[in-house]
Amino acid sequence: MIEADLQLPVLLTHLAEAARELVDARYGAIGVLNEQATAFEEFITVGWTEAEDAAGARPTGQRLLGPLTVEPQPLAPADLTGPPDSYGVPADHPPVTSFLDVVVQMRGSVYGNFYLTDKQGGAEFTDEDKAVVAALALAAGIAIESARLHDRVRNVTLLEDRDRIARDLHDTVIQRLFALGLSLQITARMTAEAGIVERIGGAVDELDGVIRQLRSAIFDLETSPGDDGVRRAVLNLAHEMRPVVGSTVRVTFEGAVDAVVGPRISVHLLASLREALTNVGKHARASTVAVLVAVGDDVCLEVIDDGVGFSDHGGDGHGLRNLRNRAERLDGGLEVTVPEGGGTRLVWRVPT
């Protein structure tokens, strides 16, 4: 998902993993070129085991074949042969039996490449595999371009430039994502294999999440550069609470948060977030913590951790009573559940 700062590596990792699963590849990678297109600034890999990592088998993208990063045509050699410094395969890399390369590009600009290797079962990658990965490569290109636009706007002081970028994100990027989702749904109808249909459905769900986050970024761009709204306050609080929580707090926004959440709600929302993160730090022993602030018919604060679970950390103690009282003071409520995979999910919700 694209989060508050468009968390590009996280989204690209999701896309690489989706591509690997959709085409039954053992390994996958996305190389992202720097803006000068002279070297990779990111090289994201998926599928390697801890043992392979320990043996130095994971590639870093430092020695990949030059044409694969600039030639805007998919390449799929059956076997990677030639000198190691030609293709950049580490000495301890498992034998590569099949290979699929698809260029990541957007409106004629090349941003990098998708790489998939070792199709399961010993077969070579098919034209259908190329088409599926090409669709995800388009999503990666959109994400990279959007993230770079978002980075640039942080230093933009002219409001009309911010408005232009926001319009570009809305009129071009989001519409392309909609079209990509439709294309994937059509692809799903072309196959009778339930597993592939399910995985494509998962990719479509990911794209829906990207669209929601881009809309949130657009709202942020349309806010004056000097504004100190609740979005900024939430991000600052999440950063401040990191030592208490013991891990990075990933923050996501949905909707026009700064436009909807006024001082009356924000003071309680921020206090509730601080209380929730303090509880996580004291009791959860979590390795990941995610925060969602969403606005629509109501204002929703969601905190999810992967720790020991609600029944084992804190029960219905003083902290939760404070959270519940703050929500009820605004005619809202609090719900705490244990997700299917474990951990704790806290939802604090009040009407707008």
What would the pLDDT profile of 147-182 be if each residue is shown by its tens digit?
877 766 655 544 445 555 656 665 556 666 766 777
pTM for this one? Answer: 0.44
Q: Do β-strands 298-305 and 109-119 pair in parallel, antiparallel, or remain unpaired? A: unpaired
SS3 345: strand
Tell me the fold of 8-221. Beta-Lactamase (3.30.450)
* Predicted pLDDT at 168: 60
Cα 101 → chain centroid:
22
Residue 183 predicted with pLDDT over 90: no
Q: Where in the chain is the domain with CATH 3.30.450.40?
A: 8-221
| pLDDT value, residue 228 | 63
Q: What is the CATH number of domain 230-351?
A: 3.30.565.10
* Token pair belonging to 159: 């409001």
Predicted local distance difference test score (pLDDT) of residue 5: 41
* Of 81-95, 202-216, 227-241, 278-292, minimum mean pLDDT range: 81-95
Q: What is the pLDDT of residue 200?
A: 76
Q: For residues 28 and 44, what is the distance between their CA atoms, to the nearest angstrom? A: 8
**Is residue 144 exposed (0-12), middle (13-18) or buried (19+ Cβ within 10 Å)?**
buried
- Confidence category of residue 217, pLDDT binned at 50, 70, 90: low
Distance in angstroms (rounded) separating the CA atoms of residues 23 and 184: 14
Q: Within 116-250, where are the H helices?
A: 127-153, 159-168, 175-189, 194-221, 230-240, 242-245
Confidence of residue 120 (pLDDT cuts 50, 70, 90): confident
Structure confidence by residue, pLDDT tens digits, 37-93: 777 888 888 887 777 766 665 665 554 444 445 444 444 444 444 444 444 455 555
Domain ranges in the chain with CATH number 3.30.565.10: 230-351
Sequence letter at residue 326: R
d(CA 140, CA 18): 12
- Tell which residue, 164, 203, 166, has the closest CA to residue 184: 203
